[in-house]
Amino acid sequence: MTDEVEVTVTVNGRTRQSRVEPRRLLVDYLRHDLGLTGAHIGCEQGVCGACTVLLDGRTARSCLHFAVTVDGSDIRTVEDLADLDELHPIQEMFHQKHALQCGFCTPGFLLTAVELLERTADPDEATIREALMNNVCRCTGYANIVDAVAEAAVELRRGHGA
């Protein structure tokens, strides 16, 4: 009954085929089967957002999905944002603005910011704060994260304009 099931997903542009137990959480699949440890586990209750990934382009809690449920989906994790030389503009702004301390929550925040800025090129502070409710940070007090996202929006708009 609980035999392993075949799953095919595209993760960071690469097609992955695996056999997994139905109960295997997507976050465990990414972290322990694929070695993508950027998504972290902070609660497994959907609250903290440390496990956030982009599932078919939208933020999702990887602790609240089974790998089998997302069969056929496209998944993007934090590992996909930067290239070898350069950080993604949002990552760069997190660095410039000191928007991370322990960094445990950070991958989740980055993906939330990616989703926000893909939908809203020029968000105001209230919009940014609403969007960041997706994730909990216990270290930074949020202000620098809000700043970093606002600045990244400017940076990204400039990039598109150029």
Ligand X SMILES: Cc1cc2nc3c(=O)[nH]c(=O)nc-3n(C[C@@H](O)[C@H](O)[C@H](O)COP(=O)(O)OP(=O)(O)OC[C@H]3O[C@@H](n4cnc5c(N)ncnc54)[C@H](O)[C@@H]3O)c2cc1C
How far is Cα of residue 28 from the mean position of the Cα atoms in its chain? 15
Tokens of 73: 């989906």
Spell out the alpha helix ranges (H) of 77-124.
89-96, 106-119
Contact 45, 23 (CB under 8 A): no
Q: Does 143 bind ligand FES (CB under 6 A)?
A: no
Q: Does 107 bind ligand FES (CB under 6 A)?
A: no
Q: Does 49 bind ligand FES (CB under 6 A)?
A: yes
Contact 51, 59 (CB under 8 A): no
Q: Does 43 bind ligand X (CB under 6 A)?
A: no
Q: How far apart are CA 67 and CA 81, in angstroms?
A: 22
Nearer to other proteins, 122 or 130 (CB): 130
Closest by CA position to 147, among listed 136, 155, 139? 155
Using CB under 6 A as the binding rule, the residues of this chain from 12 to 41 that contact ligand FES are 41
Nearer to other proteins, 110 or 162 (CB): 110
Token pair 């997302």 in the structure block, residue:
70
Q: How far apart are CA 26 and CA 22, in angstroms?
A: 10
Min dist CB 62 to ligand FES, Å, is 7
Tell me the pairing of strands 5-11 and 74-76: parallel
List the single partner that 16 binds among other proteins, ligand FES, ligand X, none, CB under 5 to 8 Å by kind: none
Nearer to other proteins, 10 or 101 (CB): 101
Q: Does 133 bind ligand FES (CB under 6 A)?
A: no
Nearer to ligand X, 43 or 154 (CB): 43
Question: Of 70, 114, 131, 137, which one interacts with ligand FES (CB under 6 A)?
Answer: 137
Contact residues toward ligand X (CB under 6 A) are 46-47
Contact residues toward ligand FES (CB under 6 A) are 41-44, 46-51, 61, 63, 100-106, 137-140
